[in-house]
Amino acid sequence: MNELNSLRSAVRGRILLPGDPGFDSARRPWNLAVEQPVAAVVEAADADDVATLVRHARTAGLGIATQPNGHGATGHTDGTVLLRTRRLDSLHIDPTTRRARIGAGVASGRLQAAAAPHGLTGLPGSSPIVSVTGVALGGGLSWFGRKHGWVADNVTALDIIDADGHPRHITAGTDPDLFWALRGGGGDFAIVTALELALHPAPHLYGGRMLWTAEHAPDVMDAYRQITATATDELTLWLDLLHFPGSDPMVAIDATYLGDEDEARDLLRPLDRLPAPLSDGRATMTVAELGTITAEPTDPGPGSSRAELLTALDDTTVKTLLADPIAPLLSAQIRHLGGAFTHPSDSPHGPLTEPYALYLFGVPTDPAVAAAIATKQRELADALPVSGRKPLTFLNPGETAADAFTPAALERLRAIKRHHDPHDIFRSNFPIGR
Ligand SMILES: Cc1cc2nc3c(=O)[nH]c(=O)nc-3n(C[C@H](O)[C@H](O)[C@H](O)COP(=O)(O)OP(=O)(O)OC[C@H]3O[C@@H](n4cnc5c(N)ncnc54)[C@H](O)[C@@H]3O)c2cc1C
């Protein structure tokens, strides 16, 4: 603790120790179902603070869990210092080279808002409030992954603090192993203070959510399968079975198209032959507005999720999915993958060849509901054609990095961990093991 006390005068950011006012709220992750015990919280003001913290933690024999927000928190944080990176918020866009250079705390929505006026886009997922770094270091499934692959594959350089507390600028050329590991293997190998990313042209974007009552789910699913069977890589469709408290079960189609409205409407024509929707939010939009499509919660709350990669969405799969109401789940989301996800990827995940991802989500309001949610998730996963592996960013607290990677990739990640962090200072939400 002396080392941590001495940190107070050594860094410019805020340090909270147990007993300090605000300690409990500072250590709390976004997912309130996860309890997160930590020795201290450090809100770094800059990269120098991060370097100082690494040197102190090493001397004190403590680990560091780096979390911008803790959307993926698992609670494996005993004996660690929780590093918050939100103040590392620099953001620079070079429209000529189509590159962004951002601090490690920048949220996805902020990058999108800065890229949009240049007719460019990053690779955002469904939520604008998750950090670009957290998503990219876990591989990252974006709305535009069918066109541009894993988010991680679009990272071109990283500024890091290594396990000796030294700042370094790394690329595939300077540090091939470490760069490979960080682009999808999580934050077990270094602390990232800034990233450089490729941006992509997005002069036109069309998208939005259509919503029907659940009685139309079979027809909506038919149209979804028909469109996704031949979709171009610019078109991405997700299907959601939804059951929110106090409302009737519903089914939604969420769509984005990297192109203009006429082309999109043409590709989405099977949806126009369906019964009239309750609402149709499709419109020309900017890439800064993507978060409005699924309108996911932006305040912390308890959540319980399970993701699977589906090897097929055939008649039997659909029959199983639609056989019973999804309750006690709130949502069962199917994401269309394919396209550039299947291309060669020099990253720990490698190519993502499963055609669809499934994300099952519930809110564990009490232990009985939590148990019922877990049972429902397990029953569906057991009954559906799943490949068994999962994207790192979609793991839940009960799963491990071994659920995301092939044995060969995991062994390479562990060798890189032993070499670059022999004292196990860096502790990601899903430790890679040793
Ligand atoms: C509402 C919601 C929607 C989501 N949608 C998507 C989606 O569409 N696609 C997708 O792929 N994922 C999605 N996710 C999952 C999300 O990518 C993960 O939760 C991820 O962990 C990012 O969250 P975060 O920014 O809070 O990172 P945290 O959970 O705080 O951190 C995640 C991990 O990233 C690493 N890390 C973060 N910053 C650093 C750093 N500076 N240095 C070293 N390591 C670091 C650490 O290993 C840490 O354990 C979603 C999550 C939520 C809650």
Is the CB–ligand 1 distance for residue 105 below 6 Å? no
Ligand 1 atom at minimal distance to the Cα of residue 125: 8
Is the CB–ligand 1 distance for residue 428 below 6 Å? yes
| % of the chain beyond a pLDDT of 90 | 95
In a domain, 79, yes or no: yes
| Residue the block writes with tokens 């005993």 | 78
Same domain, 135 and 36: no
In a domain, 166, yes or no: yes
Over its C-alpha atoms, the chain yields an Rg (Å, rounded) of: 22
Is the CB–ligand 1 distance for residue 401 below 6 Å? no
Whether 110 shows a pLDDT value over 90: the answer reads yes
What is the distance between the alpha carbons of residues 303 and 365, in angstroms, rounded to a whole number?
Answer: 9
Ligand 1 pocket: which of 36, 43, 71 to mutate (most atoms <8 Å of CB)?
Answer: 71
CA of residue 108 relative to chain centroid, distance: 10
- CA-CA-CA-CA torsion sign (393, 166, 99, 350): negative
In a domain, 12, yes or no: yes
Q: How far, in Å, from the CA of 114 to the mean position of ligand 1?
A: 20
Q: What is the DSSP letter of 165?
A: S
In a domain, 420, yes or no: no
Q: How far, in Å, from the CA of 232 to the mean position of ligand 1?
A: 28
For residue 74, what is the domain's CATH number? Answer: 3.30.43.10
* Residues 312-327, mean pLDDT to the nearest whole number: 97
Is the CB–ligand 1 distance for residue 133 below 6 Å? yes
Is the CB–ligand 1 distance for residue 208 below 6 Å? no
Q: How far, in Å, from the CA of 71 to the mean position of ligand 1?
A: 6
| Residue the block writes with tokens 């460019």 | 120
In a domain, 30, yes or no: yes
E-assigned strand segments in 230-271 = 235-242, 250-257
E-assigned strand segments in 294-402 = 304-310, 331-336, 356-362
Same domain, 180 and 149: yes
Q: What is the pLDDT of residues 322-355, one digit of tens each?
A: 999 999 999 999 999 999 999 999 999 999 999 9
In a domain, 270, yes or no: yes
* Residues 427-434, mean pLDDT to the nearest whole number: 92
Same domain, 97 and 215: no
Amino acid at residue number 367: P
* Per-residue pLDDT at 3: 73
Same domain, 220 and 345: yes
Same domain, 247 and 328: yes
Whether 67 shows a pLDDT value over 70: the answer reads yes
Q: Which residues contact 37 (CB under 8 A, 6 or more apart)?
A: 27, 75, 77, 78
Edge-to-edge strands, sheet with 14-16: 14-16, 40-43, 80-84, 63-66
Same domain, 242 and 377: yes
Q: What is the pLDDT of residues 212-265, one digit of tens each?
A: 999 999 999 999 999 999 999 999 999 999 999 999 999 999 999 999 999 999
In a domain, 36, yes or no: yes
Q: What's the pTM value of the predicted model, to 2 decimals? A: 0.96
Q: Which residues contact 127 (CB under 8 A, 6 or more apart)?
A: 71, 108, 291, 294, 296, 298
Q: How far, in Å, from the CA of 312 to the mean position of ligand 1?
A: 27
Same domain, 217 and 341: yes
Q: Name the pLDDT band for 357 (thresholds 50, 70, 90).
A: very high
Ligand 1 atom at minimal distance to the Cα of residue 126: 8
* Per-residue pLDDT at 112: 98
Is the CB–ligand 1 distance for residue 112 below 6 Å? no
Ligand 1 atom at minimal distance to the Cα of residue 190: 43
Is the CB–ligand 1 distance for residue 131 below 6 Å? yes
Mean per-residue pLDDT of the chain: 96
Q: What is the pLDDT of residues 148-170, one digit of tens each?
A: 999 999 999 999 999 999 999 99
Ligand 1 atom at minimal distance to the Cα of residue 135: 17
Phi, psi (degrees; rounded to nearest 5) at 242: -125, 140
**What is the pairing mode between strands 80-84 and 63-66?**
parallel
Ligand 1 pocket: which of 54, 66, 87, 130 to mutate (most atoms <8 Å of CB)?
Answer: 130
Whether 2 shows a pLDDT value over 80: the answer reads no
Same domain, 375 and 236: yes
What is the distance between the alpha carbons of residues 265 and 34, in angstroms, rounded to a whole number?
Answer: 42
Same domain, 262 and 158: no
Q: Which of 59, 84, 109 is the last residue of a domain?
A: 84
Helices (H) and strands (E) in the chain, counts: 13, 19
Whether 434 shows a pLDDT value over 90: the answer reads no
* Residues 14-31, mean pLDDT to the nearest whole number: 94
Nearest to 256 by CA among 279, 276, 232: 232
Q: Which of 182, 201, 220 is the last residue of a domain?
A: 201
State the residue range of the domain holding 79. Answer: 2-84
Q: Is 416 left (phi over 0), alpha (psi -120 to 50) or beta?
A: alpha
For residue 184, what is the domain's CATH number? Answer: 3.30.465.10
Q: What is the pLDDT of residues 165-224, one digit of tens each?
A: 999 999 999 999 999 999 999 999 999 999 999 999 999 999 999 999 999 999 999 999
Ligand 1 pocket: which of 54, 393, 395, 432 to mutate (most atoms <8 Å of CB)?
Answer: 393
Asked if residues 293 and 211 have their Cβ atoms less than 8 Å apart, the reply is no
Atom 25 (ligand 1) nearest CA:
131
Q: How far, in Å, from the CA of 132 to the mean position of ligand 1?
A: 8
The structural domain count of the chain equals 3
Same domain, 375 and 265: yes
Longest dimension (CA), the chain: 69
In a domain, 401, yes or no: no
Q: What is the DSSP letter of 276?
A: P
Is the CB–ligand 1 distance for residue 67 below 6 Å? yes
Same domain, 175 and 109: yes
Q: How far, in Å, from the CA of 83 to the mean position of ligand 1?
A: 14
Whether 1 shows a pLDDT value over 80: the answer reads no
Q: Which of 201, 228, 262 is the last residue of a domain?
A: 201
Same domain, 98 and 193: yes
Ligand 1 atom at minimal distance to the Cα of residue 140: 11
Atom 27 (ligand 1) nearest CA:
134
Q: What is the dihedral of CA 238, 239, 244, 249, to 10 degrees?
A: 170
